[in-house]
Structure 1
Amino acid sequence: VLKSASRLIDQLRKCCNDSSIDRHEKRCSMRARWPTLYNCTRMPVVVPVYANVTVTDQAVGAARELEGPFAPDAPTMDGWEDVVEVMSSMCRPKKVTVKGSDAGRYTFLAKPKDDLRKDARMMEFMTTVNRLLRKSINCRRQRLALRCYAVTPLDEECGLVEWVPNMLPLRDVIRKYWDSFKLPFTHSDVKLRY
């Protein structure tokens, strides 16, 4: 298991840090560009989504205590989707999809040139806040909760971030707002104003 996981991490790092993708390329083939990663199939490694890597609340019930702190039926990595979407931001992260042993599809952002350890700590903090919110009857009644996602650092400079569907990046929201006032939206304009 450790050899498989170590090989997988090495290949994911190569995918994250691959800067040879043409600037105008929006999609690429994992099979063609990272064949060793694409061939990492039927791995005995749990898919690193938030539900699988977060310890469950012990307050949920006595039956949960018998199962242990993690989901016993967590899906493992079964394979990869061939199409990789290359995002247009400056560091050009890649959107990769894992096929789970449960036939599910799990999407991640393979992010280079960023220390994700702080992001992982922030998610741990938000998980703690959610636990505190669940302890309050009023907060439970109002269904107050922070949206959390898994952050998996692979080393000091890259990692995987669980893709959250139906969310917009803050940059897109701000750009739309500026466009409504017919203001130019470039990094230099934003720096000059703020």
Structure 2
Amino acid sequence: MEKKLYIAIGKNNEIRSTLFWAYNNFLNGKTNLTICLIHVHVPTQIRCSPRKDFPASVMAIREVEDKLYKELERQEVENMLDKYVQIIISFQVPSEKIYIEKESVADGILELISQLGIQKLVMGAGANSRFVGSSTKPASRKSNYVLQHAPDFCHIFFVSEARLIYASFKSLELTCLYGITNILTGYKIDIEEGFFG
């Protein structure tokens, strides 16, 4: 059975540090693991209310513009994912990319967890996480929502600035504060042997 590590990719600047954290903690020297980048795209809602005095041709043009704009957004997502796939290729690790469109990023991540049976997920802890060094949970509402609603079979690693902030393993939950990232070094061996076995 193919072993996969899923990494949730957003549109923030912490993607590279999240990828490098995953590499250093799960992949370093391993070639039997596939990295799957997942992204939930929330399409821009273009609200153009039809007016009675607009001719049908103007409304048709607006619909075409809306479709073109949404296609441009999709292409930007593809380009972003391709850029990060190139980083993974530099790790000499197989990779995949998966993205869906959803109104909520958190709901999209939960849908992918269920549909794909994701057992190992790395995701950002949220932009505020670096400011709450003593927090025992990720700072963002999205991260906490995913944490609260993810199935028990999904182990989630929340990362901020290339540091593990919080990890959830079924009923066991680990918190790793800034500067204490080596606390999981001994546990990493258990992860390598049993977690991906």
- Higher relative contact order (CA closer than 8 Å, sequence separation 6+): 2
Task: Name the structure where strand makes up a greater proportion of residues.
Answer: 2
Q: TM-score scaled by structure 2?
A: 0.28
TM-score by length of 1: 0.28
If each structure's helix is expressed as a fraction of its own residues, which one has the higher value? Answer: 2
